[in-house]
Structures are given as C-alpha cells and as structure tokens.
Amino acid sequence: MRLRLRLPPPLRPPPDRTKPLFCIRAYSFSSSSSAAAAASDDDAALRRSLSLLLSPAPFDAALCRETLSRVCPRRLERLLLDLGSSLHPEPALRFFSFATDHCGFVFTPRAYALILHSLFRSNLASAARLLLLRILDARAAVPLFLDDPDHWFSEIIHALADTVPSSDSPAFDLLVHLCCTQLRGRGSP
C-alpha cells in the first residue's frame, strides 16, 4: 500500500520576513506551589490533546482550535519535542495544515523540522522534499515564527540540526540538494 501525502497549496502572500512575530501571553506570578501544579496539569492536558490530534484517529477540529488557543508557538514546540519520535507524519501534516490554514497559527522552524524527520523515518522522502522546499522558498508563503527574521535561513538550519534523531539524517543531504538545484538564484538562502 502506497501512502500519498498532499501538502496544501500556499494560500497567503509571501511573509514579510523583516517583521518579527511575537507571542504575547499574560502570566501571573504566584509564590505558591499551586500555580506550578496548575501549569504542570495544563501541560499534561495539552500533551494528551496533542497526542490525540497527532494520532491516526479521526481529526477533531474543535479540539485543535481549543488546544491552539492555549499555546504560543514556542510552547507548542516544546510539547512537540516531548512527543519526539512518536510523531506520525500524516496526522502531523493534517494538524499543521489545519492550524495554519484555518486557525492562523504560525509554527517554529523546529516544529517543521520535527515533521521533516518524521517523514524521513516513514520513508516519505518526496513529501519531506516538498515540505522543505516550501519552507525554504520565500515565495511559498509558509509562515514561520522566527527569533530573527534577518537570519531565517540559519534558524532553519539550526532547527534541523537541533532536532535530528541521528547524525545520519537525510535531511541535510536534501537541504544541500535543494539549495544547489531548486533555490539557486532566488535569493532565498
């Protein structure tokens, strides 16, 4: 059985990579241990929700919206890192597509890197190639939550390196290939 993954076409104009994106959340500080326990319970609840959303089970759009309303891109990145190699590529792509297209959520380069590695682990190199090409090509309009938009390419490289499951990942070979063949002359990197 051959799996066919389809990434949605870009729906937005290319992002303005000169403007930083910010995640603003209000935090209350308390000296009691109950605040720490509540945060821990919230993380556990978010992990359960993400595990369900990223499983092969039917997709729950309401749960996705509710989960995304409780996290900023960096917090979601940390939760995805906790899930690690249990990330299934098809549900992850479905989740990312819905989150960006219907909820306007912006993911970090590390979050995308986790999906790329998941695609490679599942022998879905062509889907990984397409996703990486869209992330690297400014015209493809994949929104990224960046620390420094002036150094977006190096942030993507660091994200791939920080999340690589082994020193032998094909992600870097693909990155070099795409930069030398597909993106040459476009001013992307």
What pLDDT was estimated at residue 182? 65
How many domains are contained in the chain?
Answer: 1
Check: pTM over 0.85? Answer yes or no: no
AA letter at 151: H
What pLDDT was estimated at residue 71? 95
Q: Which residues of 96-113 are buried (b: 16+ CB within 10 A; e: fewer)?
A: bebbbeeeebbbbbbbbb
> 66 in a domain, yes or no?
yes
> 171 in a domain, yes or no?
yes
Cα separation, 176 vs 135, in Å, equals 14
> 112 in a domain, yes or no?
yes
> 101 in a domain, yes or no?
yes
pLDDT tens, per residue, the chain with 189 residues = 455 555 544 444 444 444 444 443 333 444 455 555 556 778 899 999 999 999 999 999 999 999 999 999 999 999 999 887 778 899 999 999 999 999 999 999 999 988 888 888 888 888 888 888 888 876 667 888 888 888 888 888 888 888 876 656 676 677 777 776 766 554 444
Cα separation, 90 vs 103, in Å, equals 19
> 75 in a domain, yes or no?
yes
What pLDDT was estimated at residue 99? 95
> 4 in a domain, yes or no?
no
> 15 in a domain, yes or no?
no
What pLDDT was estimated at residue 188? 45
What pLDDT was estimated at residue 183? 61
What pLDDT was estimated at residue 18? 42
How many CB atoms are located within 10 Å of the residue 170 CB?
15
What pLDDT was estimated at residue 90? 92
What pLDDT was estimated at residue 189? 46
Full domain range(s) for residue 170: 35-181
> 9 in a domain, yes or no?
no
What pLDDT was estimated at residue 47? 92
Beta-bridge partner residues of 107: 144
Alpha-helical (H) ranges within the chain are: 33-53, 61-68, 73-83, 89-103, 109-121, 125-136, 152-163, 170-181
What pLDDT was estimated at residue 147? 87
